[in-house]
Structure 1
């Protein structure tokens, strides 16, 4: 509870802020100058009484227009800050439901924001609202865009049955009104529904003015490809990934003439200008498709030329390098294949094909006789992927209940590479069969929980603000009015302060009797009254002083959070050391290892408790920040000091008029008495104005509290609905996740096995090379021995040695 006590100490420090900023004692002021300054100040206040309503109107006028808010949302979308863009657009939709342009603009942008942030269900709901209001002229402009996006959403959600309703909506729009965008959307939907003839007719009318000519040409090429390979698996999406990629299971070879029409269509797309990033991507996909078709037809040189047209900046660059390497392998150009794979390892080390490319590099080096380099690649691949396999295997061996896998994957800690699943394993599981849909459910559930948590925190802050004395901060225009009214009241208070200083100049000494008591009370309040805010800078400084203290508390809390993170990293490192110790040859006592593990578990529980306390403190700091500023306890003390000073000065002036302070003080009091009566009248008017503003604040606060209560009920209801849906999804999504991680484990096992096979083949090749070398050396030695024997025999023959059989026997004895 050390953290909670610190928060209470900080909260108490905020209440004592006025004691921390002490002002010096008021300087003596000449009585005549004091009277003049007080008179001028009161006259100035009298002239500024009308600016209160002006301040309220000006504050209302400073509210951003719907067009400005939409411009803010567009900028946020451009910076990919989609959450804030959604918040701004929802505000426009709720605040301006009848606006002729803001409502449809905000609704269309909201759907686009949801789509870009991959919140497809929310995007579909928003675009359907646009389509349902097609009868209103202000929504007519966005019908084509909404229908096109509904097609895209149906493809991404794989809900092809929903395309019938979208196509029915398209038929209600005249072709001349829809233009190329509508024709492209219709053609794409018909292509997915395998109505190739109707899709070709729709795509054929797309022109360059729509900006979709590249995409339409690509779809027309896919239609030609589908018609050329009618026996192949149906293509469900406009994606070049549906082609058979090099290095995978190869289909039966077909003549290139079968692909002629499709290749020509793809080549027509490549000849279009790459004037936008989207068009450049379509062109790159077309070159990839051409390369794959030539590869399938054994036209490897043409395939290589097509692949090399994909640039380094393309998203397909990594895939292109891997497939190009296989093309060079088929051509027998090992050096170029190795260079392509080396570039892939440097350019995209996190590519999906990085493991296969590493093994292929090892095989090529092994084939080229570079055994040391091949061994290094094989061992590096095994060292990289075998620990991943073990962690995935341990993850799958944790439990056989699919629901538990869903619960574990819903936790953020599972993504931690030091203690959870490897990122590449998680990505492979996402990309496996039904993985995108299953993990999208997990992601959407996590996003919903985060949004509900943010909503609860906002509700807590609003409740804290509405319960605080400064709830006027929730209403900008009312705060402007109260701030201006309070400024005028404080100016009157400072005018009274000047009058009191003038009275001190008339009779500087202490006075006896009741007037002396009134003067002593007034003088005790002067230093505090001198610190009341008057100008906008004064009010802003007060806000900054209060926020500064809360910022200091927040920074201290952040430091504690950093310490907890450091300790957690230490615990993770110790766990890893204990886990990987046996693999490095370090042998420890099992009992000691158990004690270490138990101690680490206890420390992790303590860290979890600290994190919970830090989170509670963070909420308290957030609630405290909204409760400080204009209208907080310091301003309440200002009112109390100003009223007490007014009463003390009033008593002193009354007693001075009665002669209690002498004739000079009585004459000075008679001179200032009308001025003070005028100030009292203006002060009464300003206090009534303040009461009216406070009444309006009370009324609006009550309305806002009702709205917050309703939203609180909605949040609770949404949480219950989310939990119900979560329970329904746990088993199904868990089954898919468990199956996909099993496939990932098998894939990792296959990679490790292939690396082991490569290491074995490398050792065998080295052995064979050494054996061949030994045989060559033996043959060379035998040949040299024979030459030596022949030369020796010739020498003996030339020297007249034994002949015939005797010579042979003699030679056998001499030549070993």
Structure 2
């Protein structure tokens, strides 16, 4: 293309189209026939470059067969599989959902694989309901035994999460039949854990069925799940009240060497309660972790059965680098308390507070520490320990009191608590850090927050999907080629070839004008001058149109740079708006939190809140406008390579002006001499080539427009179908939101109250401890005084007795 432009420029130079200098005496001489032939040769050379570019457009864009639907599905499946293997679960789920929702894909050989990838991607995102839907469909299809086991293991996990157990036994029996009558070890272990966690069975039936599932795994000498199954059996014995059997089971695990092979990493169940503590839930563990948990459970059972010396020996075998080491120290202290060894118990608590000062055990450990110091008559240190608890938890308790006192309606309270803005995305910004640490460990709070988050995320996702669908349909209606970058690139290249061909036509017209200048009549010259002025006026704008790939790229970069500059300013404005939202939310929270402390006029407060709401709504409206502007900027940036507005009009106008000029010159060709006429014959041959190439350009454009229409029609059908689904989703989300808000609000409200009650109990116990220490110290002092007084009386009596005779003699005298 560059070579063609250079050739066309050379032709223009040879024609002498540049204006004459003021110092030149007269017009340039008319070119000779040889010079005109050279100019035509330059035009032909330029056309060869345009021919190469046109052939590239045809081979790469118009003559290439559009991929069939099967090929397109294979490509999407491959892209989804890559995203799945990379761990990009959202992208993978979107790609596979598009596939499995297409009716024609259900007969594809890889349909079951797509179902599995989609279900597992949803499971990784904790979308248990969606994962259960596609896993259940997959289990109902004829699939291989290995794939069936993979799907069933995940289905059991989802069933346990959702407490949906119907149909599971039938799936397990089918898996057993596919495996020759016996489940593979990994499937058997997942099934046994699922039975262990079931809450819909009577306790006796659950224990019997879980034990029957774990026993074969535990009795397998080289089984990968032997230790995990044995630990579960021990916990089942505890739940059944069989402490001797549980102790025996845990003793076997506790003496197992740390290097015992256990290839699989699995989760263990809720274990034995620790002394004075809550049920212990084991994390993901390996063989060493199984041994540590067995030691902890064994020590607790020995404590419960009064075998204190054995319990101390068991706890001492817990490694110092174990995550259970702080728990073992706390429980060792309780064992010493039971044995009456207060100093040894204090020593254990001292070590615990040294190695884990911020653990969940620390507050209770400090209370026990204060009590032990009291029993050791170290009253000053005991009071100091209690006061540390009071100073730590009393301010947080008061803060939560104010937080809970603001609004007694749990729904309103929780709605405000979870008011989500960009600057305040979760509850962590509204609770004191110490309270948050305790609140997030509450399962009810965690589940409630997750539920509200899922609802909000679903509503937001549905809204974003609706907006995206509207933008897609609008783009298909108004932008056409811009919605398909590949086709747009081919169309832009065809336009560049068309511009080059018009440049060639302009060179041919100049050659004809130079050849016919002498044979034109005065009237024709005047008419030709007018046509040239009209063409040159259009030529200024036409000359700025890109004709090479390099020029197209430079234009794209210029346009993208301008869009990026505006987008940066929009981002800055968005940051300011989010800051204003945060300020408004903070002001509203301050008004609510300090209402009981302030003495302001209620009417003034109401007026202030109305103004604040109006300002907040203004910020919200501005944010919506800014979001729309940024979305438009994104569209413009993606369309930066498209043709400028009016390009085709400029190109057509310039070509029509050249055509009128050529038509006028064509009427005078019969007056030329034979030697000059041969030059024009050559020009007509070159023009015929340009016309043929322009016809090919028009064909290429037509093909590209047809493909745009076909793709657009297919996409439109899919988008409209998805819009219908989204409308149903919106109605379902609205219904769920109304129901869940009340339930979630009450759950979270009561859970936060329990956290506050924990703090209240800690402070109360510490306050009582201070009073108890003071009272005990007073009693000790009173007892000591009474003891000394009794000793004094006794000594006086002894002195009286000893000196009675002396006193009698003295009296007789």
Q: Same fold (TM over 0.5)?
A: yes
- Tell me by how many angstroms 1:435 deviates: 6.2
Matched, 1:260 2:248: yes
Matched, 1:446 2:439: no
What is residue 29 of structure 1 aligned with on the other side? Answer: 13
Structure with greater contact order relative to length (CA < 8 Å, sep ≥ 6): 1
Describe the superposition over 1:638-693 as per-residue Cα deviations: whole angstroms up to 9, x where unpaired.
22222222222233344345569999999976653432332122112211331232
* C-alpha distance in 2 between matches for 1:569 and 1:474: 37
Q: TM-score, normalised by structure 2?
A: 0.73
Whether the 8 Å CA contact 2:119–2:134 is kept in 1: the answer is yes
Matched, 1:398 2:409: yes
- RMSD over aligned CA atoms reads 4.9
Range moving further from structure 2, 540-549 or 497-506? 497-506
Matched, 1:281 2:292: no
* C-alpha distance in 2 between matches for 1:725 and 1:171: 38
Which of 748, 752, 759 does residue 751 from structure 1 map onto? Answer: 759
- Tell me by how many angstroms 1:120 deviates: 0.8
SS, match of residue 646 in structure 2: helix
* C-alpha distance in 2 between matches for 1:264 and 1:52: 76
What is residue 570 of structure 2 aligned with on the other side? Answer: 557
Compared CA separation, residues 455 and 581, structure 1 to 2 (3 A): closer
* C-alpha distance in 1 between matches for 2:514 and 2:219: 88
Which of 523, 531, 534 does residue 544 from structure 2 map onto? Answer: 531
* C-alpha distance in 1 between matches for 2:329 and 2:637: 64
Compared CA separation, residues 468 and 162, structure 1 to 2 (3 A): same
Matched, 1:83 2:90: yes
SS, match of residue 513 in structure 1: helix
Kindly report which structure 2 residues correspond to 1:625-774, keeping only aligned pairs within 5 A, or say none.
625-626=634-635, 634-657=643-666, 672-731=683-742, 733-734=743-744, 737-739=745-747, 741-759=749-767, 761-762=769-770, 765=773
Matched, 1:272 2:260: yes
Whether the 8 Å CA contact 1:181–1:206 is kept in 2: the answer is no
Describe the superposition over 1:468-501 as per-residue Cα deviations: whole angstroms up to 9, x where unpaired.
23x2243455435434433322332343466578
Range moving further from structure 2, 485-494 or 191-200? 191-200
* C-alpha distance in 2 between matches for 1:344 and 1:213: 33
Which of 119, 126, 136 does residue 128 from structure 1 map onto? Answer: 136
What is residue 590 of structure 1 aligned with on the other side? Answer: 600
* C-alpha distance in 1 between matches for 2:167 and 2:438: 29
What is residue 613 of structure 1 aligned with on the other side? Answer: 622
- Tell me by how many angstroms 1:426 deviates: 7.4
Q: TM-score, normalised by structure 1?
A: 0.73
Compared CA separation, residues 600 and 198, structure 1 to 2 (3 A): closer
* C-alpha distance in 2 between matches for 1:360 and 1:101: 66
Describe the superposition over 1:98-147 as per-residue Cα deviations: whole angstroms up to 9, x where unpaired.
6866433332222112112111111111111221112x5xx543100111
What is residue 271 of structure 2 aligned with on the other side? Answer: none
Which of 150, 156, 173 does residue 155 from structure 2 map onto? Answer: 150
- Tell me by how many angstroms 1:387 deviates: 0.8
Matched, 1:220 2:230: yes
Describe the superposition over 1:306-334 as per-residue Cα deviations: whole angstroms up to 9, x where unpaired.
543664xxxxx3x6524532333533342
* C-alpha distance in 1 between matches for 2:785 and 2:297: 48
Range moving further from structure 2, 480-489 or 447-456? 480-489
* C-alpha distance in 2 between matches for 1:211 and 1:522: 91
What is residue 380 of structure 1 aligned with on the other side? Answer: 392
Whether the 8 Å CA contact 1:653–1:669 is kept in 2: the answer is no
Unmatched segments (≥5 aa) in structure 2: 1-8, 16-34, 268-283, 304-309, 337-343, 518-523, 792-805
Compared CA separation, residues 305 and 501, structure 1 to 2 (3 A): farther
Range moving further from structure 2, 123-132 or 171-180? 171-180
* C-alpha distance in 1 between matches for 2:218 and 2:542: 76
* C-alpha distance in 2 between matches for 1:754 and 1:374: 10
Whether the 8 Å CA contact 1:111–1:126 is kept in 2: the answer is yes
What is residue 458 of structure 1 aligned with on the other side? Answer: 468
Unmatched segments (≥5 aa) in structure 1: 1-25, 233-253, 312-316, 784-803, 809-816
Describe the superposition over 1:148-181 as per-residue Cα deviations: whole angstroms up to 9, x where unpaired.
1111111111234443333333343233785323
SS, match of residue 119 in structure 2: helix
SS, match of residue 466 in structure 2: helix
Whether the 8 Å CA contact 1:557–1:614 is kept in 2: the answer is no
What is residue 337 of structure 1 aligned with on the other side? Answer: 349
* C-alpha distance in 2 between matches for 1:666 and 1:656: 13
Describe the superposition over 1:182-223 as per-residue Cα deviations: whole angstroms up to 9, x where unpaired.
322333344446465665565455599999824x53233222
* C-alpha distance in 1 between matches for 2:401 and 2:431: 10
* C-alpha distance in 2 between matches for 1:360 and 1:277: 36
Describe the superposition over 1:553-604 as per-residue Cα deviations: whole angstroms up to 9, x where unpaired.
3332322222223334444555566677799xxx86524x974674365235
* C-alpha distance in 1 between matches for 2:262 and 2:247: 25
- Tell me by how many angstroms 1:779 deviates: 11
Which of 125, 128, 131 does residue 117 from structure 1 map onto? Answer: 125
Compared CA separation, residues 337 and 89, structure 1 to 2 (3 A): farther
SS, match of residue 590 in structure 1: coil
What is residue 799 of structure 1 aligned with on the other side? Answer: none
Whether the 8 Å CA contact 1:291–1:302 is kept in 2: the answer is no
What is residue 514 of structure 1 aligned with on the other side? Answer: 527
Whether the 8 Å CA contact 1:217–1:265 is kept in 2: the answer is yes
What is residue 332 of structure 2 aligned with on the other side? Answer: 327
What is residue 274 of structure 2 aligned with on the other side? Answer: none
Compared CA separation, residues 308 and 712, structure 1 to 2 (3 A): same
What is residue 487 of structure 1 aligned with on the other side? Answer: 496
What is residue 12 of structure 1 aligned with on the other side? Answer: none
Whether the 8 Å CA contact 2:211–2:236 is kept in 1: the answer is no
* C-alpha distance in 1 between matches for 2:715 and 2:352: 64
Matched residue count? 711
Compared CA separation, residues 153 and 687, structure 1 to 2 (3 A): same
Whether the 8 Å CA contact 2:499–2:545 is kept in 1: the answer is yes
Whether the 8 Å CA contact 2:77–2:114 is kept in 1: the answer is no
Describe the superposition over 1:423-482 as per-residue Cα deviations: whole angstroms up to 9, x where unpaired.
87678677657667665543432232122122112202201211223x224345543543
Compared CA separation, residues 771 and 524, structure 1 to 2 (3 A): farther
* C-alpha distance in 2 between matches for 1:600 and 1:662: 91
SS, match of residue 702 in structure 1: helix
What is residue 478 of structure 2 aligned with on the other side? Answer: 468
Which of 185, 199, 208 does residue 180 from structure 1 map onto? Answer: 185
SS, match of residue 29 in structure 1: helix
* C-alpha distance in 2 between matches for 1:485 and 1:410: 55
* C-alpha distance in 2 between matches for 1:500 and 1:596: 82
Whether the 8 Å CA contact 1:76–1:85 is kept in 2: the answer is no
* C-alpha distance in 2 between matches for 1:573 and 1:629: 38
